[in-house]
Amino acid sequence: MTTDIEDADTEASPLISTTSPAPPKKPLTLLNGLALVIALQIGSGIFTLPTQVSQSVPSPGAGLLVWLLAGLLVWTGAASFIELGCRAPSNGGIQEYVRVAYGGRGGSGYDDASGEGEEEAGGEGSERDGEGDGDGAAPGDADTAGGLVPEAATATATPAGAHDRVGPRGELAGFVFTWTWVLLAKPAANGAISTIAANYLSRPFLPGPQAVLSPLASRLTALACVGFLTAVNCLGATSGAKAANVFLMLKLSALAAVILMGLFALVTGWRADGVPASGTGWFGRPAEDREKPAWQLLGDFVTATFGAVFCYGGWETVGFVLGDMAQPERDLPRVITGAMITVMTGFSLMNAAIYICLPFEVIRTSSTVAVEFAQRTLDSAAAGVIFSVVVSASALGALNANVFVTSRLCVAAAHRGYFPVVLANLHCRSEADEADYLEEALVGLRRPVFSVLKIGVTWFAEATRELRWRRGVPV
């Protein structure tokens, strides 16, 4: 009898389970979310972009206004993620928001996707909740709903909810976004960040202050950085988050050190070679900028704002790991609000400290303004070496956050059927999505090897203007 039952069970069991798997653990806390977002926002940019911002503004006071304005602009976009994330608290972030926004009735959004729009997307063959399909979608619903998700991927998709079923436009939008993000956007960012980390890591070992690391050595070091952080994240489901906590402490310590040195210089006058020693003050313009027309000054101010906005990037990180947070509805507003307040305050005070301690002309011409600040303030070459290590650690923290959250996007995409289903598997002991980490690393490795580091901040603005205003593409 036992054998017959086992044989019957074997014959009835499909090759791929049609039941939803047990809910995964949600190990990320409020502190983990803050660490991931702040670790990506406080990357290498804040230690290098003050030079580019200062080149585009006529005075130190205008430079501080740029950082404040950019922070407020970024906060408006980050605040929209609070509402979106609370309405779809699952991994995937922008992928989920895009697929639902384009997949409802007429591509109109969440309400249509979870209500009447679902009926239109599904056509006559789709079944309503409560009429036999329970909480999740039965096998084959993806086809009758007009979606692009294959049956196997639909069977393993978690969690099932009203926003899980959208029309074909939504699935196409999510598919295109995910592949663009994983193959182009994040590998390019990882290549840039790892190259910056490699250049700063190697600085203490170079023979002189003007020596430059060879391109081959720089790229090999960048590859080692990507490989090391990929291995760290493969150790367990929370290893990347724990590493983010460590990098967060290092970054906040570096910011605090610069701010305290600037405050000490302002109070005592020691090494205050910037604004206090200048004849123009906070808002006085140098002689070369006094002849510029107002329109040119405004254009330069906007260009500087673009650079600062780029530096604030990373606030969208939390959306990709929202499904791993223990209390997403409660913690998401706290993470985004806390991160924006912390980063805006830190960036503004750090730039004020730099303007206090360094002449405006030096800031405009220095390519490593943080190292220049340490050497002039502490009057020691060793201080420059220490800050080189600090900047490289800051860049590695941003790289670690990118590796961690992009792997979560790969898992969510595999559940949707955008990636091979094998990428949705977790390690049986560590619960780490190792296949996603390796796939992401292999894609990201080609950036430091085959490309030159170019961060075209203005290019992003021009591309947006071309797509949105000239061609009418909704971006």
- Among candidate residues 12, 28, 1, the one with its CA nearest the CA of residue 327: 28
pLDDT in tens, 207-234: 766 667 788 888 888 888 888 888 887 7
Whether the per-residue pLDDT at 145 is higher than 80: the answer is no
Give the pLDDT band (50/70/90) at residue 334: very high
CA quadruple 68, 72, 73, 75: dihedral positive or negative? positive
As beta bridge partners, residue 325 has 28
- CA 159 vs. chain centroid, Å, equals 24
What is the chain's length? 475
Question: E-strand spans in 66-180?
Answer: none
* CATH label of the domain that carries residue 322: 1.20.1740
Question: What is the rounded distance in angstroms from the CA atom of residue 420 to the CA atom of residue 410?
Answer: 9
Q: Which residue has the higher pLDDT, 330 or 142?
A: 330
What residues pair up with 28 in beta bridges, in sequence order? Answer: 325
Token duo for residue 288: 């070369």
3-state secondary structure of 28: strand
Quick: pLDDT tens for 272-307: 888 888 878 888 887 777 788 888 889 899 999 988
Q: From 72, 81, 58, select the one nearest 308 (Cα to Cα).
A: 72
Question: Does residue 473 fall inside a structural domain?
Answer: no
Rounded Cα distance, 171 and 466, in Å: 26
The more confidently predicted of residues 171 and 211 is: 171
DSSP conformational letter for 183: I
- Which residue type is seen at 38? I
Cα distance between residue 413 and residue 426, in whole Å = 14
Q: How far is CA 369 from CA 138, 253, 360, 364, 438, in A?
A: 58, 17, 11, 9, 35
325-349: b (≥16 Cβ within 10 Å) or e: beebeebbbebbebbbebbbebbbb
Is residue 437 situated within a structural domain? yes
pLDDT at 64 over 90: yes
Phi-psi region for residue 158, left (φ > 0), alpha (ψ -120 to 50) or beta?
beta
Cα separation, 433 vs 324, whole angstroms: 13
Q: Taking a C-beta distance cutoff of 8 angstroms, is the pair 321, 91 a contact?
A: yes
Residue 469 lies in a domain: no
The whole-number pLDDT of residue 190 equals: 82
| pLDDT level of residue 128 (50, 70, 90 thresholds) | very low
Which tens digit of pLDDT belongs to each residue from 364-414?
888 778 888 888 888 777 787 888 888 888 888 888 888 877 877 888 888
Q: Does a structural domain hold residue 333?
A: yes
Please state, in angstroms and rounded to a whole number, the distance separating the CA atoms of residues 1 and 20.
Answer: 29
468 part of a folded domain = no
Q: Where are the alpha helices (DSSP H) in 358-456?
A: 360-365, 369-378, 381-416, 434-450
Cα torsion for 81, 83, 88, 93, to the nearest 10°? Answer: 0
Decide if 461 is inside a domain: no
Whether residue 44 is contained in a domain is answered as yes
Q: What is the pLDDT of residues 340-359, one digit of tens each?
A: 999 999 999 999 999 999 99
Residue 232 within any structural domain of the chain: yes
Q: Which domain holds residue 265?
A: 30-123+131-456
Answer for the pair 351, 63: CB distance below 8 angstroms, yes or no: yes
pLDDT given at position 94: 84
Please return the burial class of 30, using the count of CB atoms within 10 Å of its CB with bins 0-12, 13-18 and 19+: middle
Number of domains the chain is built from = 1
